[in-house]
Amino acid sequence: MNKISPRLLLTLIGLSALGLLAMALYSQHVGHMLPCPLCVLQRYAFACIALFALTGASRADADHTRRPSAVRQASTGLGLLAALAGGGVAVYQVWLMAHPSFSCGIDPMETSLNTIITARWLPWIFKADGLCSTEYPPLLGLSFPQWALVWFVIYALAHIYLLARRRK
Which residues, 6 or more positions from 97, have their beta carbon under 8 angstroms from its beta carbon? Answer: 132, 133, 135, 143, 145
The total of structural domains in the chain comes to 1
| CATH code, 154 | 1.20.1550.10
Q: Does any domain span residue 106?
A: yes
* Global model pTM greater than 0.85: no
| Cβ contact 38:78 at 8 Å | no
Domain around 47? 6-164
**pLDDT at 104 (0 to 100):** 60
- What is the per-residue pLDDT across 103-161, written as a single tens digit (0 to 9) for each? 565 566 666 777 777 777 777 677 777 667 667 777 787 788 889 999 999 999 999 99
Q: Does any domain span residue 69?
A: yes
